[in-house]
Amino acid sequence: MNPSILQTPIDYLKGVGPNRADLLRTELGVHTYQDLINLFPNRYIDKTRYYKINELQRNNADVQVIGKITSLKTVEQKRGKRLVATFVDDTGQMELVWFRGHKWIRESIKINQPYVIFGKTNWFNGFSMPHPEMELLEEHEKSLRTAMQPVYPSTEKLTNKGITNKVINKIMQQLFVETKARFFDTLSAELLDELKLISKSKALFNIHFPQSQELLAKAQYRLKFEELFYIQLQLISKNLTRKNKIKGFNFDQVGTLFNTFYAEHLPFKLTNAQKRVIKEIRNDLGSNAQMNRLLQGDVGSGKTIVALMSMLLAIDNGFQACLVAPTEILSQQHYNGILELVKPLNIKVKLLTGSSKSSERKEIHEALENGELQILIGTHAILEDKVLFKNLGLAIIDEQHRFGVAQRAKLWRKNNIPPHILVMTATPIPRTLAMSLYGDLDISVIDELPPGRKAIKTVHRYDSNRLKVFRFIKDEIEKGRQIYVVYPLIQESEKLDYKDLMDGYESIVREFPQPTYQISIVHGQMKPADKDYEMERFVNGDTQIMVATTVIEVGVNVPNASVMIIESAERFGLSQLHQLRGRVGRGAEQSFCILMTGHKLSNDSKTRLETMTRTNDGFEIAEVDLKLRGPGDLMGTQQSGVLNLKIADIIKDNEILKSARYYALRILKEDSSLAMEKNKIIRYTYQMLIKHKNIWNYIS
């Protein structure tokens, strides 16, 4: 088949016409035959055949099974009860589950009578079917039945304009007639053979018109693998190209500064994780290729020391280093921390932010250009074109998700040879997501906390326990500790948030009167100078309680603060709760995080609170967050574009993703330019894909 036929506008397909074509374009993004073929069904209704229990596949399709209910029982669960029936046929048993309507179901079910059940199966230590459609076999045999039907994505507007599932199904059939259902393959014969994948034509036909459950599962696997394979191929080849083509500065010296600092001035012993990461960074810096590494580590895991030691390597080799942070507070903290650490080494460090005075700026610019200034720390101000270095060898970016790719590129242009790049984040990124979003970066993880740090104790309390919580705060203040009380800030309802904050502040002032207690307050509507003054008082220990909105989320370091109270905790996302909790637990004392909520909680909120009280592990929390929110939300808009997936699901298809990455890596290691005859098809598909910027547009 001529591939160009797939670029035909959808208007020309028999049965579509201009009006329907407009709707398909605006509602479903279907512009061409190609787009239509890649409009995959969400699910399938299979009434063609009856499955035996031992034939069920783990593919979430709707199925029919004939069997008998042998027993019913009620099971208590965290929220309410569920009714569970044991359903058997001559090959095995499964469970039927109801979460509501128990009384009516109990009364209507006939035990040991043959039933036909229909619904979606779930797998968890065996198959189960929630809320099945049920019909006694003798009734069922009298009714009419239709074949296995795909159910396509739709919108209200489409349904109102008469473009029903049936119509889309009909248009799809027409498309297969016009293209004679022949599509060229996009994976090499070697891959098809080794992974026992079905052909592209067979996969596309069976995804839209499944001939059996088994062929549907094979079609889904084949198309998911292919989608993830080409994304990985793109990311890995970007990484390899960079390593082969973009030369980096070779830091071959491990010199005096690094060794002196390591031997004499380390504030505490490095953890094994820190040692491992420093070794990975040293290997990169001495490899002649430009480093592009992502350093992940939970709040308080000691990323700053790793960053500083990497900078010392750059300085030992005659280069300058810079560290860019997203906010002034954070860059100020990095500056204070690093200044303190390098005091004995006689290194020149400066801070550059939006509020640096012009006389300071002038001095900094000069010292940078003549090479006197060795480390520059600051905000986006460092990225401005007029900030020029004599020889920038290493650029460190903190909290990458706040910087776009364009901003990273500005750092590259500070030299004719791009500096080594180390990206740091305290927002743990689940492995699956890291492989897809940062597949072109090498990843290092600090996964242990420094010795002497006690795990923060986290509890969930309802508003009705508030007096007990106040008593606890008083006890902690008596021990000389400080307390954060944080209120949510949600833009749409700033007035409400401000009111919540002020009400909360007043009740705390009543409970903790002056002069016995001193309280700071910080919120978004204050002038920056007032905010800084209040923060300063808390940092210096002049106030014991800091009442704030989430402005304190990133980077405030007060080792003496040991209690974090999060008000209306159900209104925060998981990663935000985890970040806020990381503001305490920075000293040697036991720290606490108290999540305050009302009694009315959604299921997602309950999951978030339960996760927070169960674990302090940022990576586990990130995995739960990914399941709750989905990849797009988690990464913010600028990066979710990478994951505009048509059929694969990055969470559910984790195993397929790993396999796709493994094969992409294997092929590129053997044949980095895809020049070998056996990889011809892969090279052609990949070139088309890059040309059209849309992974799927050329995969048929």
- Could you give the CA distance from residue 626 to residue 634 in angstroms, rounded to a whole number? 7
Give the chain's length.
700
pLDDT bracket for residue 3 (50, 70, 90): low
pLDDT bracket for residue 693 (50, 70, 90): low
Q: What is the tens place of the pLDDT at every residue in 64-85?
A: 999 999 999 999 888 888 999 9
Contacts 24+ apart (CB under 8 A), 660-668: 660/225, 660/228, 660/229, 660/231, 660/232, 661/228, 661/232, 661/236, 661/435, 661/439, 663/191, 663/195, 663/229, 664/229, 664/232, 664/233, 664/236, 665/232, 665/236, 667/233, 668/233, 668/236, 668/237, 668/240
Q: CB–CB of 504/547 below 8 Å?
A: yes
pLDDT of the residue at 401: 58
pLDDT of the residue at 406: 65
Q: Quick check: pTM over 0.85?
A: no
Q: Extract the tokens encoding 245.
A: 């083509």
Report which of residues 412 and 647 the model is more confident about.
647
Q: CB–CB of 412/560 below 8 Å?
A: no
3-class DSSP state of 256: helix
pLDDT of the residue at 556: 64
pLDDT of the residue at 375: 97
pLDDT bracket for residue 349 (50, 70, 90): very high
Q: Of the ranges 174-188, 189-203, 408-422, 467-481, which one carries the lowest mean pLDDT score?
A: 408-422
Report, in this order, helix, strand and coil percent for the chain, each rounded to 5. Answer: 50, 20, 35
Most confident of 135-144, 431-440, 626-635: 135-144
pLDDT of the residue at 631: 61
Indicate whether 273 pLDDT > 80: yes
Q: Where are the beta strands (DSSP E) in 140-247?
A: 149-151
Report which of residues 143 and 581 the model is more confident about.
581
pLDDT bracket for residue 57 (50, 70, 90): confident
Structural domains in the chain? 1-41+150-175 (1.10.150), 47-147 (2.40.50.140), 256-285+302-425 (3.40.50.300), 457-615 (3.40.50.300)
Q: What is the mean pLDDT of the chain?
A: 87
Indicate whether 300 pLDDT > 80: no
Strands 122-123 and 127-130: antiparallel
Indicate whether 412 pLDDT > 90: no
Q: Which residues contact 493 (CB under 8 A, 6 or more apart)?
A: none
Most confident of 87-91, 129-133, 423-427: 87-91
Residue type, 111: I
pLDDT of the residue at 637: 35
∠ CA 190-196-200, nearest 5°, is 80
pLDDT of the residue at 358: 93
pLDDT of the residue at 641: 41
pLDDT of the residue at 259: 95
Report which of residues 158 and 375 the model is more confident about.
375
- Note the helical H segments in 384-465: 405-412, 431-437
The arithmetic mean of pLDDT across residues 645-656, rounded, is 83
SS3 track for 20-73: HHHHHHHHHCCCEHHHHHCCCCCEEECCCCCECHHHCCCCCCEEEEEEEEEEEE
3-class DSSP state of 358: helix
pLDDT bracket for residue 466 (50, 70, 90): very high
Q: CB–CB of 420/248 below 8 Å?
A: yes
The arithmetic mean of pLDDT across residues 3-8, rounded, is 80
Q: Which residues contact 508 (CB under 8 A, 6 or more apart)?
A: 485, 519, 545, 547
Indicate whether 403 pLDDT > 80: no
pLDDT of the residue at 299: 72
- Could you give the CA distance from residue 275 to residue 448 in angstroms, rounded to a whole number? 11
- Could you give the CA distance from residue 42 to residue 406 in angstroms, rounded to a whole number? 36
Q: Of the ranges 321-325, 371-375, 417-421, 593-597, which one carries the lowest mean pLDDT score?
A: 417-421
- Could you give the CA distance from residue 390 to residue 206 in angstroms, rounded to a whole number? 61
Most confident of 77-86, 164-173, 436-445, 509-518: 509-518
- Could you give the CA distance from residue 271 to residue 447 in angstroms, rounded to a whole number? 10
Q: What is the tens place of the pLDDT at every residue in 491-515?
A: 545 566 667 788 888 999 999 998 9
pLDDT of the residue at 544: 96
Q: Of the ranges 275-289, 458-472, 478-492, 603-617, which one carries the lowest mean pLDDT score?
A: 478-492
Indicate whether 635 pLDDT > 80: no
Report which of residues 383 and 626 the model is more confident about.
383
pLDDT of the residue at 330: 82
pLDDT of the residue at 37: 93
Residue burial 277-287, b: 16+ Cβ < 10 Å; e: rest: bbebbbebbbe
- The percentage of residues in the chain with a pLDDT greater than 70, rounded to a whole number, is 91
The arithmetic mean of pLDDT across residues 453-464, rounded, is 92
